[in-house]
Amino acid sequence: MRLIILGAGGHGKVAAECASLTQQFSEILFLDDECAKLQDYPWKVVDILDNFALYKNTETAFFVAMGNNRLRAQWQNTLTSAGLQLTTLCHPKALISSYSQIGTGSLVCAGAVVNPFTCIGNGCIVNTGAIIEHDCTMSDFVHVAPGSVVAGNVSIGEGSFLGAGTKIIPGITLGSWVQTGAGATVISNIAANSLAVGVPAVVIKSTGS
């Protein structure tokens, strides 16, 4: 199976290394709008994003490696509507419970832990060393940045972004498109479209709807 990754940035490198370590793919290629300037990228960047359909065949899987949650959602939805085959990438050194679920197009990075009865949506990123405890629900296109700890029974709404090292105590609910600052400690629910920072985390502004 060939893998085409959309987005040749830093996150793309992490996704490609992870894909390579799984040994599931015969070839890994990238699409990126800066393809002409990316000759020194560690993998071949063969075309611009809009040409994705040229690479469609039964032996090709696609993965969207864009750190920005809205962009990732937009591209993943575009590829899904075009009937392309999307893959999910789990680093061999991530610990993923067999009682958990990881949605299509998600990436679980090295050292991450996903514990039992947790459900991770489509197009999510569980970044390096992040811990998602038992019985959590993560909607689509969430990004949990490196070193974050999400305790049990937490619910995270679509498109939310937890900054590096965020901690969330058990039973908390985050609305959709919430952002937390690096190092935030969340001890109360956060409404949709809010940015919260600090210890304990307080909402300082809207993230827009």
Ligand X SMILES: CC(=O)SCCNC(=O)CCNC(=O)[C@H](O)C(C)(C)COP(=O)(O)OP(=O)(O)OC[C@H]1O[C@@H](n2cnc3c(N)ncnc32)[C@H](O)[C@@H]1OP(=O)(O)O
| Residue stretches of the annotated binding site for acetyl-CoA | 143
Residues facing residue 42 across a β-bridge: none
**Nearest approach, Cβ of 68 to ligand X (angstroms)?**
10
Tell me if 4 sits within 8 A of 63, measured CB to CB.
Answer: yes
Q: What are phi and psi of 74, to 5 degrees?
A: -60, -45
Asked if residue 152 binds ligand X (CB under 6 A), the reply is: no
Active site residue 134: yes
Say if CB 27 and CB 2 are below 8 A apart: yes
Instruction: Enter the DSSP assignment of 116.
Output: T
Q: Is 123 in the site for ligand X (CB under 6 A)?
A: no
Structure-block tokens of residue 115: 């514990």
- Is the C-alpha dihedral spanning 115, 64, 156, 81 positive or negative? negative
Under a CB-based contact definition with an 8 Å cutoff, are residues 61 and 3 in contact?
yes
Exactly one of 13, 134, 155, 169 is catalytic; name it: 134
Binding of residue 69 to ligand X (CB under 6 A): no
Nearer to ligand X, 146 or 175 (CB): 146
By CB under 6 A, tell whether 179 contacts ligand X. Answer: yes
Cβ 183 to ligand X, closest distance in Å?
5
Select from 69, 106, 115, 127 the one that contacts ligand X (CB under 6 A).
127
In the complex with ligand X, which residue's Cβ is closer, 86 or 197?
197
CB within 8 A of 155, min separation 6: which ones? Answer: 136, 137, 138, 172, 173, 174
Give me the least distance between CB of 128 and ligand X, in Å please.
7
Q: Which of 19, 31, 65, 145 binds ligand X (CB under 6 A)?
A: 145
Range in contact with ligand X (rule: CB under 6 A) among 24-32, 35-43, 99-107, 174-182: 174-182
Q: Residue 182, interface with ligand X (CB under 6 A)? A: yes
C-alpha 113/C-alpha 129 separation (Å) is 7
Q: What is the dihedral of CA 146, 152, 154, 160, to 10 degrees?
A: 10
**What type of residue sits at position 141?**
F
Nearer to ligand X, 72 or 135 (CB): 72
Kindly state whether residue 116 participates in binding ligand X, applying the rule CB under 6 A.
no
Q: Does 198 bind ligand X (CB under 6 A)?
A: yes
Residues that bind ligand X (CB under 6 A): 127, 145-146, 163-164, 179, 181-183, 197-198, 204
The residues annotated with a catalytic role in the active site are: 134
